[in-house]
């Protein structure tokens, strides 16, 4: 009969895999399991928080995938039996597969910051796993309700985490909103790291657009938040400094999503080790783990990498079913960030397995970051490139 490809998770990795599989291999029977009927993207979520995009602009449905012939099942995968090649769903159904693509994203490690659990996130939003968009809108509403002259505090995690430049784009978009509506306010960004992605470019932009508004505190200056008091809105750092703020955005440490952990696919790091060529789990043959849930070597946990690795995983899965060798792998990433609404910067990297196929390495001289300096036209153009990137990747996933 028809070979069965099952995809669990309908986000950047999963939707990309399902769409690509139907496009490239029309004979494949593709089923996608995703609990939500509407997918809210993390990319451009920071612009919603900044008030320059609306929730509708970042929300996508699954009708396009259905029209491509994907069977879309809105349910949770609750268990994976790798030996029997079956996935159990919350509603009771069991789906058999020949190959499984798993892209369930991340889980927030509740309690890794003392006092920060799911209940605390209703008062100190993370807005890092958008779900139905409620967390994003909560942070937005708190900024709107904050008086001018208030302090917005952020707690930023150590590596690895979803979207390395994401917290700094968030700082930028909050600053853009405050500059326009509450110019006496401040941002206190408490970081568990000493350096971050595109740091020079971000800090140049902050100095140019938001002088004096943003204080970034690295770990080596007591920036690591270890405890929060949700009721008092206090962020407490490693050496006991208590920062009382008016709005707090706590981005906690993360791991692979629960289903990957419960299926035994993760190691002690909390993430799933995979084969660099096929993205197949090192633990369970027949299961390809893509997106943020895997251990990507030097690649960032980004939507673009999720998309790029998803295609390689599908092609490898099909090759294996046909008894063929996997195709050569090449993984692409560009992460755009908005420093201002019309001020974009980017980082590019191309990655491939090493000659032995044992690890992923960056292709020498393949990437880089936007040039530094006073380059208003370049920044303006990159903001428009970011819009085009968003448009094309969401079409690739959902259209």
Residues in contact with ligand FAD by CB under 6 A are 8-14, 33-36, 39, 42-43, 45-46, 76-77, 103-105, 128, 162-163, 166, 170, 257, 259, 291-293, 301-304, 306, 335-336
Residue 353 CB, shortest distance to ligand FAD, in Å, is 20
Distance CA 142, CA 191 (A): 21
Nearer Cβ to ligand FAD, position 229 or 369?
A: 369
Nearer Cβ to ligand FAD, position 126 or 236?
A: 126
3-state secondary structure of 308: helix
Nearer Cβ to ligand FAD, position 45 or 236?
A: 45
Nearer Cβ to ligand FAD, position 77 or 314?
A: 77
Nearer Cβ to ligand FAD, position 93 or 324?
A: 93
Residue 72 CB, shortest distance to ligand FAD, in Å, is 11
Helices (H), 37-195: 45-49, 63-67, 134-145, 166-181
Nearest residue to the partner ligand FAD, using Cβ: 11
Distance CA 31, CA 94 (A): 12
Nearer Cβ to ligand FAD, position 79 or 238?
A: 79
Distance CA 100, CA 216 (A): 42
Nearer Cβ to ligand FAD, position 77 or 152?
A: 77
Distance CA 301, CA 277 (A): 17
Residue 169 CB, shortest distance to ligand FAD, in Å, is 6
Residue 243 CB, shortest distance to ligand FAD, in Å, is 22
Nearer Cβ to ligand FAD, position 8 or 315?
A: 8
Distance CA 163, CA 334 (A): 11
Structure token digits, residue 269:
């790091």
The Cα-based distances of 293 to 57, 101, 265, 390 in angstroms read: 26, 12, 10, 22
- Would you say the C-alpha torsion 211, 215, 219, 224 has a positive or negative sign? negative
Return the C-alpha torsion angle 205, 148, 236, 234, nearest 10. -150
Residue 39 CB, shortest distance to ligand FAD, in Å, is 6
Residue 105 CB, shortest distance to ligand FAD, in Å, is 3
First-last CA distance in the chain: 28
Alpha carbons within 13 A on the beta-carbon side of 382:
22
Residue 34 CB, shortest distance to ligand FAD, in Å, is 5
Residue 203 CB, shortest distance to ligand FAD, in Å, is 19
**CB-CB contact of 175 with 213 (8 Å):** yes
Helix, strand, coil share (%) of the chain residues, nearest 5: 30, 30, 40
Nearer Cβ to ligand FAD, position 163 or 277?
A: 163
Residue 78 CB, shortest distance to ligand FAD, in Å, is 7
Query: CB within 8 A of 376, min separation 6: which ones?
Result: none
Query: CB within 8 A of 246, min separation 6: which ones?
Result: 146, 147, 150, 151, 152, 233
Distance CA 235, CA 189 (A): 11
């Amino acid at each position: 009969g028809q070979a069965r490809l099952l995809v669990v998770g309908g986000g950047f990795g999963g939707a990309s895999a399902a769409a690509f599989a139907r496009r490239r291999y029309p004979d494949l029977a593709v089923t996608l399991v995703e609990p939500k009927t509407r997918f809210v993207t993390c990319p451009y979520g920071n612009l919603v928080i900044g008030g320059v995009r609306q929730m509708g602009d970042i929300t996508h449905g699954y009708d396009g995938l259905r029209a491509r012939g994907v069977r879309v099942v809105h349910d949770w995968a609750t268990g994976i039996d790798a030996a029997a090649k079956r996935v159990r769903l919350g509603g009771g159904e069991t789906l058999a597969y020949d190959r499984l693509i798993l892209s369930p994203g991340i889980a927030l490690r509740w309690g890794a910051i003392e006092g920060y659990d799911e209940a605390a996130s209703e008062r100190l939003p993370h807005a890092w796993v958008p779900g139905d968009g409620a967390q994003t809108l909560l942070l937005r509403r708190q900024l709107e309700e904050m008086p001018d002259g208030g302090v917005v505090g952020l707690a930023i995690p150590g590596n690895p985490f979803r979207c390395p430049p994401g917290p700094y784009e968030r700082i930028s978009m909050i600053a853009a909103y405050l500059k326009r509506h509450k110019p006496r306010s401040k941002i206190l960004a408490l970081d568990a790291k000493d350096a971050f992605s595109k740091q020079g470019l971000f800090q140049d932009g902050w100095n140019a657009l938001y002088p004096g508004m943003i204080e970034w505190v690295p770990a080596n200056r007591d920036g690591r938040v270890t405890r929060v008091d949700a009721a008092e809105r206090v962020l407490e750092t490693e050496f006991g400094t208590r920062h009382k703020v008016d709005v707090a955005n706590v981005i906690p440490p993360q791991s692979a999503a629960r289903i990957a952990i419960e299926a035994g696919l993760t190691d002690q790091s909390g993430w799933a080790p995979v084969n660099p060529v096929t993205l197949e789990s090192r633990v369970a043959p027949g299961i390809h783990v893509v997106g943020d849930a895997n251990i990507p070597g030097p690649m960032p946990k980004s939507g673009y990498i999720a998309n790029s690795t998803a295609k390689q995983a599908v092609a490898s899965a099909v090759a294996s079913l046909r008894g063929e060798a996997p195709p050569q792998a090449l993984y692409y990433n560009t992460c755009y960030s908005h420093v201002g609404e019309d001020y974009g910067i980017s980082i590019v990297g191309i990655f491939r397995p090493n000659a032995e196929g044992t690890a992923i390495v960056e292709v020498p001289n393949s990437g880089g970051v936007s040039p530094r300096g006073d380059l208003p036209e370049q920044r303006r153009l990159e903001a428009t490139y970011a819009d085009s990137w968003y448009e094309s990747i969401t079409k690739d996933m959902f259209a």
